[in-house]
Amino acid sequence: MGRGRSLRARFLMVALACLVPLLIVVLYVLYESVGNGRDQLLDAQGATAEVVSKVLASTLDDNEAVLTELASIDKVRRIDASSADALDQFKRARPSLYGLFLVQPNGELVATSGIDPAQFAAIPSFKDSMDRALKLGETGISGRLVAPDAEMIAITVPVRAKDGDTGTPIGALGGLLSIERLKDNVLPFVSGDTEVAIVEHGDVIAAQGTDLRPADLAGALAQPIAQAASGKMGTHVYQDSDGNERLAAFSPVPGADWVVLVTHPAPNSYAPNRMLIQRALAALGLATLATLAIVLFLGEWMSRPVRQLTAQASRLADGDYGVQIEPTGHGEIAVLGDAVREMAGQLVAKVRDLEAAQEEDAYQADQMRDLNRRTVRLQEDERRRIAGEIHDAVAPLITGALYQTRALKLGLSEHAVNGIGNGRSHEATRNDLGDELGSIADLLTRAHEELHGVIFALRPPDLDDIGVVAAIERYMAQVQRSGLTCRLELIGEQASLSPEVRLAVYRIVQEALHNALRHAAADEAVVRIEQSADWLRVTIRDNGAGFNPELAQRPTALGLLSMRERAAAIGAAFSIASRPGDGTTVTIERWSEPVPAPETSEPVLEPMPPWPAVDELIEQRPAPLDGGAARL
C-alpha cells in the first residue's frame, strides 16, 4: 500500500484505542476476582491444614495414652514371655492396631501380638522411634512402614519399673497403627481436587485425594515442608510437574516430625473456574471481533476511493504512462484525485524528457568508452611512430657518424705511426681530416634536428616560452614540408591564455591539420585565431574531400572525438561544418576572462650547443695509440 498506514488501519487503530480501556477494566476485574479467590482458597487450606494437624495430634496422643496405660500393667513390666497374654488381650480390644510388641533395653524382642515388628528393624524411622523410647524415655513415632499386606506406623512408649519413675526405662512398648484407619479418622472430608497429605522427611505417610508426586515433594514443596518441620505454618504457590499452578498450606503435627500438606489447584487452573474464565474471555473476544468487523467495514467503505486512486498512481509509478487518473468519491477525496491527475500529467512530460536525456547520456558514454579504447590504441601507435622515427631517421645518422669517427680515429693512429713519409704534406692531411670532421658534423646536426623534431611533436616548448601562436606557426612550417600549404591569420589583440587552454588549442589545430593532410587529401589550409579580452575563436578550414557531418556524432573517428573532448575540457563550444567534396571547417569558441599565464614548473628544453669548427676538432683529436692499432 505504500509508506505509512492505510485508512482502514487507522480506523482499526481508533477502534482499538477505544476498546483498550474497556478490555483493561474487564481483565482487571477478572484478575482481581481470581486473586481474591486465590486468597480465600489459601485461607481455607491453611485452616484445613491446622485442623488436620490438631486432629492427627489428638489421635496420636490417644494412642500414646493407651500404650502408656498398657505399659503400666505389671505383666508388661515383667518384660518376659508372660507379657504376651496382656498384649493379645489389648490388641483384640483395639482393631486399629496391627500389632503390639515389647522389647528389652538392649532392643531384643520379648513378646509380640499381631504383625512381627522384626521386619522393620532396619528401617531408620523405626529404629529412631525405638531409641527415643529406650534411651530418652520419650514417645517415639516412626514414619510409614510397609508390610506385605498393610501400611502402618509405629508408636513406642517407655516401660518404667514403677509409676512416676524418671530413670532409665526397663523396656519399651510399641504399637503398629494402621495408616488406613488413620486416614479414615483424620482425613474424612477431602473431596474433588483438594489433596491432603501427611509427610515425614519428604516421605508421604498418608494422603487423601490425588497422589502427591515425589518430584513435587523433592522440588517445589521441599522448602515449605522444611519450614513446617521447623514448627512453622504458612502457604505456598507452586507449579506441579505438569506445569499447573497449585496452592498449598502446610502445618506441623505437634509431638511428631510430621507435616500436614493441603493443596488445591489455583483458581486459574481449577477446571470449573478455568472454564468460566475461558467463557468470559471468549465472549469478550467475540465482542471485540464484532466491533472490529464493523470498524473494518466502515473503513473499507471510506478508503475504497483512495485505494483506487492509489492503484492508478502505482501503475503510473511503475512506468505505465498511458493510465488515466479517474478520481472517485466525494469531497476532499475528489479534490485529491484532481490534484493527482494534474501532477501525473506533469510527471509524464518530465519522465519523457528524462528518458531522452538518459538516452543521450548512454550515447555519450558509449562514445567515451570507444574514445578510451581508441586512445589506448593511439598511444601505442604514437609510441611505435616515435620509435620508428628515431630508428629510421636519427639512429642511422648517429651510426654513420660513429663509423666515420672510428675510421678517422684509425687513420689518425696510422698517420702517427708512419709519419708523413708517404709523400703528402701536412697541410693536405689536415684538409682531409677537416673534410671528415665536417661530414661527421653534418650527420650529427641532422640527427639533432630529427631528434628535436620528435621532442617538439611530443611537447612543443614554444607553448610555455612564447605562446600558442608561435607553436602553431612552427607546426605549420613542418606540415608545409609535407605538401600542405598553410596560412595563419590573427585577428584582435592576443591575450594571455592559461596553460590548459594553450595546450587544447594547439592540439586541436594539430589534429585538424593532420586530418586535412592524411585523410582529406587537402593542399591548402587556413588557421584563423580571433581573440578579445573575454572571447576566443579558432577556425581551421581546408579544401579537402570533406565528409558527412553526421559521422562526427558517431564514435568512429578518433580525431574528431579527441578534438571535441579537448574543447569540452576547457569549456569551449566545438562545431564541424563539412560537405563531401567541399572541404571541412572546424571551429571552437570560448567565452571567459583572460587568465594570466602562471610560471610553469615544467622543464624547458635547452637548445643544443653549436657544432665545433673543424679546426677545433682537429686540435682536440686524440693522441696516437700505442702500437698504431685503433681500439674500438
Instruction: Give residue-wise pLDDT tens across range 96-105.
Output: 888 999 999 8
Bridge partners of 587, per DSSP, are: 539, 575
Query: Rg of the chain over CA atoms, in angstroms?
Result: 63
> What is the rounded (10 degree) CA torsion for 275, 276, 280, 281?
-40
Q: Which pairs with CB-CB distance under 8 Å and at least 24 residues apart come from 472-481?
A: 472/505, 472/506, 472/509, 472/527, 472/529, 475/506, 475/509, 475/510, 475/513, 476/513, 476/527, 478/453, 479/513, 479/517, 479/525
Separation of alpha carbons 558 and 506, rounded Å: 17
Residue 595, pLDDT above cutoff 60: no
Q: What is the mean pLDDT of the chain?
A: 77
- Residue 67 and residue 173 in contact, taking contact as beta carbons nearer than 8 Å: yes
Q: Is 260 helix (H, G, I), strand (E, B) or coil?
A: strand
Of residues 262 and 303, more confidence is placed in: 262
Banded model confidence at residue 349, pLDDT cuts 50, 70, 90 = confident
Whether the Cβ atoms of residue 213 and residue 272 lie closer than 8 Å to each other: no
Mean pLDDT of 304-318: 75
User: Dihedral of CA 367/372/377/383: which sign?
Assistant: positive
Q: How far is CA 5 from the centre of its chain?
A: 27
Residues contacting residue 630 through CB under 8 Å, at least 6 positions apart: 406, 409, 410, 413
Whole-angstrom distance, CA of residue 198 vs CA of residue 56: 9
Determine the Cα–Cα distance for residues 110 and 102; give it in Å rounded to an integer.
Answer: 5
Q: What was the pLDDT predicted at 630?
A: 31
Q: Which of 285, 283, 336, 348 is nearest to 309 (CA)?
A: 336
Query: Is residue 464 scored above 90 in pLDDT?
Result: no
**Strand partners of residue 151:** 146
605-614: long-range contacts, CB 8 A cutoff, minimum separation 24: 605/455, 605/461, 608/448, 608/452, 611/441, 611/444, 611/445, 612/441, 614/433, 614/434, 614/437, 614/438, 614/441
Give, for 542, the enclosing helix (H) or strand (E).
strand 535-542
Span of 46-50, 210-214, 617-621 with lowest mean pLDDT: 617-621
Q: Which three cell numbers stand for residue 529?
A: 585565431
CA angle (193, 194, 200) in 5-degree steps? 130
Cβ atoms of 271 and 192 closer than 8 Å: no
pLDDT of residue 526: 95
The pLDDT score that the predictor gives to residue 631 is: 29
From 550, 462, 553, select the one nearest 509 (Cα to Cα). Answer: 462
**330: pLDDT confidence band, cut at 50, 70 and 90?**
low
Q: Check residues 118 and 599 and name the one with the higher pLDDT.
A: 118
Residue in this structure with the C-alpha cell 548512454, named with its chain if needed? 362
Edge-to-edge strand order for the sheet containing 524-531?
485-491, 524-531, 535-542, 584-591, 573-578
Which range among 179-193, 287-301, 422-436, 607-621 has the greatest average pLDDT?
287-301
Q: How many CA atoms lie within 13 A of 434 on its CB side?
A: 10
Note the pLDDT of residue 242.
75
CA distance 556 to 518: 16
Using alpha carbons only, give the angle 220, 226, 228 rounded to the nearest 5 degrees.
110
Task: Work out the average pLDDT over 438-462.
Answer: 68
**Quick check: helix, strand or coil at residue 208?**
strand
Q: What angle do CA 409, 414, 416 make, to 5 degrees?
A: 95
Q: What is the pLDDT of residue 565?
A: 85
Predicted confidence band at 155 (pLDDT cuts at 50, 70, 90)?
very high
pLDDT at 278: 73
Distance of CA 386 to the CA centre of its chain: 56
Query: pLDDT confidence of 282, banded at 50, 70, 90?
Result: confident
Residue 203 φ/ψ region, left for φ over 0, alpha for ψ in the -120 to 50 degree band, beta for the rest: beta
Strand bridging mode 524-531 / 485-491: parallel
Write down the pLDDT at residue 424: 52
Whether the pLDDT of residue 435 is over 90: the answer is no
Please name the residue that has the C-alpha cell 509509478.
317
Alpha-carbon distances of 579 from 383, 387, 537, 548, rounded to whole Å:
33, 36, 22, 6
pLDDT of residue 600: 42
Per-residue pLDDT, 592: 66
The stretch 608-622 carries a mean pLDDT of: 40
pLDDT value at residue 1: 45
Tell me which of 336 and 330 has the higher pLDDT.
336
Average pLDDT, stretch 31-55? 80
Average pLDDT of span 277-286: 79
CB 591 within 8 A of CB 531: no
Higher-confidence position of 95 and 213: 95
| Phi–psi pair at 78, nearest 5 degrees | -70, -25
| Nearest-5° Cα angle at 19, 16 to 24 | 120
Please provide the size of the chain in residues: 632
Distance CA 312, CA 327 (A): 9
User: Residues 171, 105: contact at Cβ < 8 Å?
Assistant: yes
Give the pLDDT confidence score for residue 632 in this predicted structure.
Answer: 22
What pLDDT score was predicted for residue 154?
92
pLDDT over threshold 70, residue 553: no
Query: Stretch 145-173: mean pLDDT, rounded?
Result: 88
Contacts of 345 (CB under 8 A, 6+ apart): none
> What's the confidence (pLDDT) of residue 3?
54
